[in-house]
Every structure is written in C-alpha cells, then in structure tokens.
Chains A and B, each alone.
Chain A
Amino acid sequence: MNFVVPDFYPAAAEIFVAVMALVIMLASTFARSVARNLAYLLTQATLIAAAFITIFTMEGEVVHTFSNLFISDLLGDVLKLMIYFSTAIALLYGRGYLADRKIDKPEYYLLALLMTLGMMVMVTANHMLPMYIGLEMMSLALYTMVAFDRDSARSTEAAMKYFVLGALASGLLLYGMSMVYGATGTLEFSGVAQALYNQTANQTVLMFGVVFLVAGICFKLGVVPFHMWVPDVYQGAPTAVTLVIATAPKLAAFAMAVRLLIWALFDIAEEWQMMLMLVAAASIVLGNLAAIAQQNIKRMLAYSGISHMGFMLLGLLAGVVEGDRHFALNAYSSAMFYAISYVIMSLASFGMLILLSRAGFEAENIDDFKGLNKRSSWYALMMLFVMFSMAGVPFFIGFFAKLSVLQAVVAAGYFWLAVLAVVMSVIGAFYYLRVVKVMYFDEPVDSSPIHAAPEVRVMLSANGLAIAALGLAPQALMSLCAFALLRSL
C-alpha cells in the first residue's frame, strides 16, 4: 500500500487549532500572571482565526480527505462556526467568574481549545473512529474543566460522576460501533449506508448495535433515561464550566447524531426514529415536570435543557414516514435550527447567572433573581427575553424553534407527540415565568449593584437582543440550516 499524501486543505481549521493548542501549552509556561492573560487572548484569537479559516476554506460542496476519514461539507462548516462562536462567548462570559474564584489558570483555556478541537473532529468525522476520538477528546477536556475548582467537593464529585457515566456511555457507543462493524463490515459512514442499501447486513446484529449507538448519542445530548448526569454536573460544575457544557457540546452531539443516524443509518431510519420517539417523549415530560420542583436555577436549567433536547429530537425523528423521505430536509433543518437556538438561549441564561455572581457569592437559586428589575431593569429585561424565548412565547427565537419542530412532527403525522409536546411546554412555561415573576414582582434580597466587565455587558445585551431579533426575523437562520443540509446531503 502506497502512502498518499492526503489533502490537508479541507482540514486547515482543525490543523490550525491543534497547532495553536500546542502554542498555548508553551505559553502557559510563562509567569502565571502573564500566561493567564496570554492564554485567554490567544485562545480567543485562535477561535476567531479558525472562524476565518473555516469561512475561507468553505467549498460549498462535499469533500473527503484523509482516506475518507474526514468530510468537509457545508453542514460541518456551519456547525463549526457555531461552535467557535459559542465557545468564544462562553469563555468571555466566564473569565471574570474564574478570576474571582482564582481558578483562571492558563490550562483552562488550553482545555477549552482542546475541547473545541474534539468537537471539530466530531463534526467533520466520516468514520466511526475519528468520531469516537473526537468525542473522547471533547469529553476528557470537559471532565477536567468540571473538576477545575479542585478544592470544591461539589465540583470534584460532579466531575467524578460525569467521568464514570461518560466512560460507561463511551463503552456503550463503542460496543454499538463494533456491532455495526460486525453487521456491515465497515466503519465508514458511507460504507455503512451502502451496506444497508444493498441489504447485506445482518439485521439482528445491526439493530443490537443501533440501540447502543442511540444510547451513546442520547448520553451526550443528555436525554432521558441517559440524563442522570445532567442536573448533578450542571449544578456541581463552576457556572462558567456549566455554561461551556450546556452550549457547544450540544451542537457536537447534534452533529454526532446527524452523522451516525442520518449519514450512516438513514435506510433504517424508521427503526431508530421509534427509539428516539420514546426518548424524546420521556425527556419532554420528565424535563419539564422535574424542572418545576427545582429551587436551584442551575438544576432548573439542566432539566429545561433535557426537555429542549427532547424537542430537538422531535425534528430528527420526523424525517421519514412509511418510507416517504419528503419530510427529511424540513425535519432535520428544524432540528438543527432548534439546536442552534437552544445554544443561543443557553449562553444568555448561564451568562446571566455569571453576571449575578461575584467573588464569594454564587447566584444559583431562583431567589437570587428576586427584584432584579429594581437592581437593573435592563438585565431583567434580557433575562425576560431568555425566559420567554425558552418558554416558547411568540415572537422570540424559541417560539419559532418549537414551532418548526412541531410542524415537522405534525407533517409526519405524529399528532399525539405534538399534543404531548405542546401540553408539556405549557406546563414548562410555569417555571420560566416564575423567574420572570420573581424578577419583577418580588423585593430584592440583595440589592448590591451589578459588576461586570464592559465586554461582558455588551455581549450579554447583544445576546439577549439577538434572541428577540432572531425571533422577529427567524427566516435567515432557518434558511441557512436548510441550505447547509441541502448542500451536504
């Protein structure tokens, strides 16, 4: 076998981020005070530069390289851009929080960059192995980041739980991959799809494998019953890290679901759609109900995230109806739109928690939002946007996200699922509106003014306004999702 020099060009962004990770590792050896700022600035610069590289290397068509291990397509490019974007904002929000707690070590930014690289690899994987490697790269970085406040018992406990359960989930995923390999004889997504098309795969083994694959994906998305880590980790991790976990990795998990289920297993879509349906319904019900009982807003947002991911799955499971694939593009783009909207809302919600926290004080209970309107009516308004949007009030982005997945579900004929989802989101509106209620109608328990760096204020305001603006004009983002999928399928 001859060694062929692969085409590096489509992977330029990944290579750049990897090199920069090494540079930052070197930079962290400088004196602490310098390294801290240097690492942060280098990380942000890397993310911005990676965004430019991704834009300039965008082909608009599907390109394979590295012996078909790597795929470059518009879907991947859009998701990567969203990942840089949300990671950069998350680091921007979290910087002051980490500094207040003296845990803003340069390694934190290194880990964040490695996590980004892992996600990029996941997004561009065309083969089960790079998918798995990317997943582990992301997860290991995240485990470490959760435990970053190593003197906090809660953080280390959360990290431990996350690690053990994550390892279990990885095991399930690997097991599933091996089964699929056994059934089809290949790990490459297009090869798997081809084998399914030719009907040469052993159905029993294949299905066995698919169940495990779905379990692995569901763990990363954090949906019932693989959600148990979500509330504990969200609560235990430092809020800045929770912010990271709750945003970009969801996009990576979405990419994993799309690549594994749609790229590789589209021919048996109706089989995994049934599994996703169970999981989605359970997540929407449990997520919304359990969130009501929470006093801790991080846990509340964790359960809300579970239900949101359930909603996102509604889009994925509505693609094929009785062999008819007409709905696919619409359904999958609604899921993608949902995932992106969720990330934007999630950034703002945890960003607000960070804004209210300060040295020696963690804003993590709903009571901490009491009377926010009196303390700062502007941020109360921003939080109102976020909560209304998450509850699905028209005309915020969350409304259109819910509307589009529900349309997909109804088009596919699953009326019961749509009705269930609507009923549960009405119930869910309660806990979002409770936050609004305490902000506007309760007396503040703590009336200290809000301190935050100017860039955080500006970005958080922009984030909140984006939720409103995208709600007024959702069409562009929706079309982008549909276009990216259309050009990549």
Chain B
Amino acid sequence: MSDMKAIYLLVPLAPLAGAILAGLFGKQIGRAGAHVVTILGVAIAFVASLFIYQDVAAGNTFNGTVYTWMQAGGIDFEVGFLIDSLTVMMMLVVTFVSLMVHIYTIGYMSEDPGYQRFFSYISLFTFSMLMLVMSNNFLQLFFGWEAVGLVSYLLIGFWYERPTAIYANMKAFLVNRVGDFGFLLGIGLVAAYAGSLDYAEVFAKAKELSVTEMAVTGWPLLTAICICLFIGAMGKSAQVPLHVWLPDSMEGPTPISALIHAATMVTAGIFMVARMSPLFELSDTALSFVLVIGATTALFMGFLGIVQNDIKRVVAYSTLSQLGYMTVALGVSAYSAAVFHLMTHAFFKALLFLGAGSVIIGMHHDQDMRNMGGLRKYMPITWITSLLGSLALIGFPFFSGFYSKDSIIEAVHSSTIAGSGYAMFCVLLGVFITAFYSFRMYFLVFHGDERFGKAHDHAHHDHHGDHDDEEPSADHHHGLAPGQKPHESPWVVTLPLVLLAVPSVLIGFFTIDPMLFGEWFKGVILVGDNHVGLRELAANYHGPVGMAIHGLQTAPFWLAMGGVALAWFFYMKRPDIPAAIQRTFKPIHTLLENKYYFDRFNEIFFAAGARLLGRGLWKAGDQALIDGVAVNGSARLVGWVAQMSRLFQTGHLYQYAFMMIIGVFVLLTYWFNRG
C-alpha cells in the first residue's frame, strides 16, 4: 500500500511544485518555463490519477493518514487521503479539465504581462482542489475549501487595475465568507458532538447523532449540521441567495471561468454533500431545504440568462442553473445523478466557456453578443465545438448532458420528499429556458448578420447595472476595428476545445451504466431505505440507447426542442419580436436586468447595515470603550504610576538608605508575622 501512498501524494504535490516554481521563480524561468513546469505538473497529476483510477477500479480503496499535524482536546488534526470511486472520479475531472485549461491559457493569455502569475495561480488551484476532493477529514476539506476560495479570489481580481475586477473579487470573497461561516459552524458541530473530524468515524456515529438534540436550543442535531454544511455549499456552489458572486466572477480571465467558476470549484459544494450522503440521508428536513434551494436556483437563474448580452455572463447564468440541477438531485437523494451531472457538466461547460473565450479572442476581447453574428465561417472549430457543447447542455439525446439531466428529472419525478412537486415544475421549465438561452447565444454568435467591425461604444458593459458608470479599461475591451474580420484561434486554443468536445458528447453514454445503476458508487454514496433516489429509475432502465430513444418521447425533450425553435424564431427570423416583448413586459425585463434586485438588496441591507454596525462598534466599542478606557485609560494609569515612581528617586542618599532599611524592615515583619 505504501507505494500507492506515494502516488496519492504525487497527485496534489506535482501541481503545487509547478505553482511554486512558476510563482516564485517566474522571472527566472520565463514565460515558456512557467507554462512548461505547470503543464508538466498537472499532466503528472492527470496520469497519476489515471493510474489510481485503474487501481480503484480493481477494488483497492484507501483511507489513511499521511501526516498528523497536531492533537488537541482528543481530536486529531491530520492530513489524510480517502481514495475511493467518488474521489478518483473527481480527481480525473479536475486534472483533465485543468490540463485542458492550462494548454488553452498559453493561447489566451499570450499577450498578458501576468503570464507566469496566472499559471502559478491555476496550478495552485489544482493543488487546492485536489486536496479538497482527496481529503478524508473535515479539517483538510476545510483547508482545500478555503484554498480554492483564495485562488478564486486572486484570479477574479487577476486584472487588478480594473475597478470592476476588484469589486467582483471582493464580492466573491465576502459572499463566500457568509457560506464559509455556516460551513465552519457545521464542522464545529461535528467536532463537538462526534468528537472526531475523520469522515469514517463521523459517519459511523451518524445514527447516534441523528437522535441527539442540541444543547440549549433542542434542535435536532443532525439537521443543524447538514444545513450548516449546506450553507457552505451554497456559498461555494453559488445557490440562491448566495449566488450573487458568480456572475461577477466573470471579470476574471476566461480560462479560469472555465476551470474554477464552471467545471470544478463551484462543484465543490455538490461533491461535499455527496460525500456527506450518510449524514444528509438521515435528515429529511435538510434534504427538503437542499431541494427547494436547488430548484429555485435552477429555474430563476436560467431566466436571467435570457437577458444577458455578455457572452460569458450567459454561460455563467447557465452554470448557476446547472448547479441548481445538481443540488436538486442531491435533495432527492440521487447523489450519484448529481455527481454524474457534475462530471458531464464539467466537460461541456468548460467547453462552452473555452469556446466563448475563443470567440472573445477572435473578437479582440469584445464580449458583447450584439456585436457578433455569423462567426461560423470565420471560426469553424470554435463553431462546431460550441454547437456540440450547447447540445450537450440542453440535454439532446445521446449527448452526455442528456443522460445526466434526464436522470435528475426522473429522480425528481419519482421522489416523494417535501418540495418535490415544486422542484419538478422548476426543472421541467428549466429545460425549456436552458434550451432557449443556449441557442439564443448560439444563434447570436455564430449565425445571422455579421454585426462586428462597426463602431460601437463598449455597450457590452451597460447591463452590469450596479456599476455601469465605470469606464472599462480600454486595453482589454477594444473589439474589432471597422472592416477587420475575426479569425480562428491558434491550435493551443482549439486543441482543448476538441479534446473537451469528445467527453462532452460521449462520456454520458459510456459511464451512465456503472455510475448511476452499477456498483461504482457502492459503499461510497448511501441512500436510505426511506428515500427513492434512483431506484425507480433503475427499474425502468434498459441501457443508454433505450434511454435515449425513450427520451425522444418525453416532455423534457420536446420542451428543449421548443426552446431551440423559439430561439431560432426570435433571433434568426423575427429579431423585432424580442424587442417588442421587452417593451411590452417592461417591469419583468427590468426585474431580470437587475437580477431580481439581489445585489441592490445586499448593498442596501447587508453592506450598509454592516457598515452601520461596524461604525457603531468602532465609535462606541473601539474608540470609547477599548481605546478610551482600556487602552488610553490604562496607558494614562501606567504613565501616572511611572511619574510617581520617579518622585521616589530623589537623588538624596539618606532617602536611598532609608528605603533599604524599610525594605529589610518589611521583610522582617512579613516573616515574623507569618510565624
């Protein structure tokens, strides 16, 4: 087993080494050196993950400690690995997408002065994410959780001269703090009541915890733990109402939008809940909470995708919506469907983001879809891969997205848990919305009239709503000059697109059997007897081909087709209709434009409230009490005593001698009084 341990260690440490080399010695090794070492590190991690995959497929799992950091209060703080089917799947997804993004970045960031820094960050991210997924205990999970949050913060603000980027990374940081607060409370409850941070030990006590009540409040303990942990997941996986940071995170460079804000980091919450399935299964209340939050996110974030004009933001809202789907799957105990969707989504969403990035390169960093159109003939590879990605996203039969999304919808359909009716409505309508905005984007970008090359005044920024008065910095948003044509991106950009398109299309077909209905997740993901999960679906399942053919006759397929048709009609045939609708339903459009006023509410209520509270504490608590009484007061007292003590030092010899005699006298009387 020890030789495997070395390979387990190699997986996170190889990207870490790359990050350190590129980050600290970026100047010395140069631009090429930076991308070589980081790509090498991630490639090693990917190959090692493949090797581990084979080992796990052969039935060898591992759960053990590699390093004990400290022991305190009977709790061990350790670095350890839990290598099982869920872990190895995540490792493969993370390292593969990361590798693709690394290669892609060579092309995308080629002109950026922060080239080495960028590579260092994304390798560091890969390390952190791997530590998160490979963890066998809550402490390391939290470490990875915070570390990916940190890198996300750094990368959103990668272009730190832009005020919007700084605003966005601050926002992401603060919103994630809210989620992390819940997460930390959850971990604290686990540590307090289970007396351990090790997954296996905590899961072994799950039954015992489920009948415990919390001290003082009398709340059911396990529900509280699950909801607290899920609040953490809501922050990281951008679920309503903690989703507000994700659309703004698009301020970062596109490769990290693909890697962090679509494929991997944002799915950490989904992964965590799936990992904690032995806990969540024992609390129906928590599951219903998860379900309702997920369903709301799935539908309402989809609506917002319709009104966006920035190509990246459309993809961002679609990510939010798809994360909602995964959360819904968690809520109906279809954990394996959630993780399955996580995997397929990682591929096609990374593909869509990188495709969008390729378009952005072609458009010379203009991101407004209203300035695009007809790119099909200029960027053929980008076009075809984006089409494949979009089809996967809307769940077209035989594409990977179909298998995962349909399984979720079926699982919701058969679920009986509270809130499943609402969820069913949301996910079905969501299919239509997804198809509509995806193909709205597809048609606007790749088909129709060529609208680029005209004089335009950076209009793509005007929908930001809360900060539309800020000047976008010219060097990143210049767009095409009049008469200039877009061109296909270099091979380092298109190669990852092609390599990602393959799994986007195929992976669902080939993996649905073992992952959803087979033995792959046996013993890793637990579904209680009182929950349906995927059992009903499994009973009616007759292979991937049968499922796809059956899919052609079901409501989701026709809803999706309706969405595509409507998008074609609106944006290809009659572009005047959307404008008319927009005029007619002005209030609704305004509501969507302003993202349901979440940002406004947060700013007025939380931000201003926090500032008010902070000001109050500063004035009354800090300035008056701590500074005034405690600090300055004690300093004044000390100063006074110090001055007094000087008075004793008169300089007169007889007084000095007198002091000594007094001293002897005091010592004598003290001793003799003691007897």
Tell me the A residues contacting B by CB distance below 8 Å.
160-161, 164-165, 168-169, 172, 207-208, 211-212, 214-215, 218-219, 224-226, 228-229, 231-232, 271, 274-275, 278-279, 286, 289-293, 427, 430
Contact = CB atoms under 8 A, between A and B. Distances in A.
B585 interface: no
A232 B653 CA distance: 10
A430 B638 CA distance: 11
A16 B645 CA distance: 45
A105 B671 CA distance: 48
Ranked nearest first, the 8 interchain pairs of A and B with the lowest CB-CB distance are A225-B663, A293-B642, A228-B656, A290-B645, A292-B642, A289-B642, A215-B664, A211-B667
B668 A208 contact: yes
Given A232-B651, A290-B646, A427 B657 contact: no
A215 B639 CA distance: 29
Contacts of A169: 660
B671 A274 contact: yes
24 contacts: A164-B653, A168-B657, A168-B660, A172-B660, A207-B672, A211-B668, A214-B667, A215-B667, A219-B660, A225-B659, A225-B662, A225-B666, A226-B659, A228-B656, A228-B659, A229-B656, A232-B651, A232-B656, A278-B667, A286-B645, A289-B645, A290-B649, A293-B645, A427-B638
B663 A232 contact: no
B657 A164 contact: yes
Nearest to A282: B663
B2 interface: no
What does DSSP make chain A's interface, helix, strand, loop or mixed?
helix
Given A215-B660, A275-B667, A275-B671, A292 B638 contact: yes
Interface of B: 638-639, 641-643, 645-646, 648-649, 651, 653, 655-657, 659-660, 662-664, 666-668, 670-672, 674
Contact of A228 (B639, B643, B660, B666): B660
Contact of B660 (A207, A225, A278): A225
B5 to A, nearest CB: 33
B657 A165 contact: yes
A165 B667 contact: no
A289 B641 contact: yes
Contacts of A231: 649
B671 A211 contact: yes
Given A165-B660, A226-B663, A293 B646 contact: yes
A286 to B, nearest CB: 6
Contacts of A279: 667
B627 to A, nearest CB: 16
A267 B646 CA distance: 39
Contacts of B641: 289
Nearest to A271: B671
Contacts of B639: 292-293
A189 B579 CA distance: 106
Contacts of B649: 228, 231-232, 290
Given A168-B657, A219-B660, A225-B660, A278 B643 contact: no
Given A211-B664, A232-B649, 13 more contacts: A172-B660, A207-B671, A212-B664, A224-B663, A225-B662, A274-B674, A275-B671, A289-B638, A292-B639, A293-B639, A293-B642, A293-B643, A430-B638
B642 A290 contact: yes
Nearest to A172: B664
A224 B656 CA distance: 11
A226 B660 contact: yes
A161 B656 contact: yes
B22 to A, nearest CB: 31
A296 to B, nearest CB: 11
Contacts of B648: 228
Nearest to A160: B653
Query: In this complex, which of B645, B648, B667 has the most chain A Cβ atoms within 10 angstroms of its Cβ?
Result: B667
Given A226-B660, A289-B638, A293-B639, A161 B645 contact: no
Contacts of A229: 656
Nearest to A175: B664
Contacts of B668: 208, 211
Query: In this complex, which of B641, B655, B660, B670 has the most chain A Cβ atoms within 10 angstroms of its Cβ?
Result: B660
Nearest to B656: A228
Nearest to B672: A207
Contacts of A219: 660
B648 to A, nearest CB: 8
B415 to A, nearest CB: 58
Contacts of A207: 671-672
Contacts of A168: 657, 660
B633 to A, nearest CB: 13
A212 B665 CA distance: 10
Nearest to B635: A430
B631 to A, nearest CB: 11
Contacts of A160: 653
A165 B653 contact: yes
Query: In this complex, which of B638, B659, B664, B674 has the most chain A Cβ atoms within 10 angstroms of its Cβ?
Result: B664
B650 to A, nearest CB: 9
A212 B672 CA distance: 14
Nearest to B642: A293
A208 B668 CA distance: 7
Contacts of A290: 642, 645-646, 649
A427 B672 CA distance: 34
A292 B666 CA distance: 27
Contacts of A274: 670-671, 674
Contacts of B667: 211, 214-215, 275, 278-279
Contacts of B672: 207
A206 to B, nearest CB: 11
A339 to B, nearest CB: 22
Contacts of B643: 293
A286 B655 CA distance: 17
Contacts of A275: 667, 670-671
A485 to B, nearest CB: 26
A128 to B, nearest CB: 19
Contacts of A293: 639, 642-643, 645-646
Nearest to A423: B634
B113 to A, nearest CB: 32
Contacts of A292: 638-639, 642
Contacts of A172: 660, 664
A50 to B, nearest CB: 34
Nearest to B641: A289
Nearest to A226: B660
A278 B664 CA distance: 12
Contacts of A226: 659-660, 663
Contact of A161 (B653, B664, B666): B653
Contacts of A212: 664
A86 B641 CA distance: 34
A169 B659 CA distance: 12
Nearest to A290: B645
Nearest to B643: A293
B374 to A, nearest CB: 64
A143 to B, nearest CB: 14
B525 to A, nearest CB: 47
A224 B639 CA distance: 19
A164 B655 CA distance: 12
A428 to B, nearest CB: 10
B385 to A, nearest CB: 57
A44 to B, nearest CB: 35
A213 to B, nearest CB: 11
Contacts of B642: 289-293
B664 to A, nearest CB: 5
Contacts of B666: 225, 278
Nearest to B646: A293
A271 B663 CA distance: 16
Nearest to B664: A215
Nearest to A219: B660
A173 to B, nearest CB: 11
Contacts of B674: 274
A481 to B, nearest CB: 28
Contacts of B645: 286, 289-290, 293
